[in-house]
A and B are shown apart, each in its own frame.
Chain A
Amino acid sequence: GQQLNQSPQSMFIQEGEDVSMNCTSSSIFNTWLWYKQDPGEGPVLLIALYKAGELTSNGRLTAQFGITRKDSFLNISASIPSDVGIYFCAGHGSSNTGKLIFGQGTTLQVKP
């Protein structure tokens, strides 16, 4: 079945640094979603991407839908302590069943 590879698995950065994480798939995806999960809470949708090449920002967050439709990245600029959490990519494949395929997550820690 379709799978997503998300990297890196974890990051430990200094406050103020920029962060980049990405997801790749072996098959084409029609939608890419990026979520953030705080400890003990459910994932919260950050950005949704629907077209190849689409670049979307949400505050300090920027995400892009890869032109090949097989990858997406999320950038966080000028990180702050509250950016700490687990970031998940997710996507809908070509089967159009509505099922979301999730990446394994990137754990971000920010040192003040």
Chain B
Amino acid sequence: ETGVTQTPRHLVMGMTNKKSLKCEQHLGHNAMYWYKQSAKKPLELMFVYNFKEQTENNSVPSRFSPECPNSSHLFLHLHTLQPEDSALYLCASSHQLAGGPNEQFFGPGTRLTVL
């Protein structure tokens, strides 16, 4: 695998389900990000991890719970979601959080539908 991978690519879940999104980066980066992309809206930053430590929680509801066990893997645990949470969830990674060039590379996304 190369770049940033995300699984699953598509997920349909009921409001009472619990599911997890997985992201893996094969680029040797230290920072990882979760974004939400809804139709007709700009990309919304959700969480930022730098060297496995969470450095940003952009006022995300607690029904979204991130986990970063190491610099290569990032999870987003989902529970009791609402239909308005349906969106494309994108994972990204970069070399470092600050102090130098910080090009972010994105995965293909998980298309989430909440029924």
- Chain A residues within 8 Å of B, Cβ to Cβ: 31, 33, 35, 40-45, 48, 50, 88, 90, 92, 96-100, 102-105
Q: Say whether B43 contacts A102, CB under 8 Å.
A: yes
B113 contacts chain A at the CB level, 8 A cutoff: no
Write the nearest CB–CB distance from B98 to chain A, whole angstroms: 4
| B99 proximity list for chain A (CB < 8 A) | 96
| B106 proximity list for chain A (CB < 8 A) | 35, 42-44
Cβ-closest 7 pairs across A and B? A42-B106, A98-B97, A98-B98, A102-B43, A42-B109, A43-B106, A96-B98
Complex: chain A residue closest to B43, CB-CB: A102
Chain B: interface size category: 20 to 34
Query: Can you spell out 25 A-B residue pairs with CB atoms less than 8 angstroms apart?
Result: A40-B108, A40-B109, A40-B111, A42-B4, A42-B107, A42-B108, A43-B43, A45-B104, A48-B103, A50-B101, A90-B104, A92-B102, A96-B98, A96-B99, A98-B31, A98-B48, A98-B94, A98-B96, A98-B97, A98-B98, A98-B102, A99-B48, A100-B45, A100-B104, A105-B42
Complex: chain B residue closest to A43, CB-CB: B106
- Cβ 8 A contact of B103, one of A45, A99, A103: A45
**Residues in B28-83 with C-beta less than 8 Å from chain A:** 31, 42-43, 45, 48, 50, 56
CA distance A60 to B17 in the complex (A): 46
Q: Say whether A97 contacts B97, CB under 8 Å.
A: yes
- Chain B residues within 8 Å of A, Cβ to Cβ: 4, 6, 31, 42-43, 45, 48, 50, 56, 90, 92, 94, 96-99, 101-109, 111
- Cβ 8 A contact of B109, one of A41, A48, A90, A92: A41
| A92 proximity list for chain B (CB < 8 A) | 102
Write the nearest CB–CB distance from A97 to chain B, whole angstroms: 6
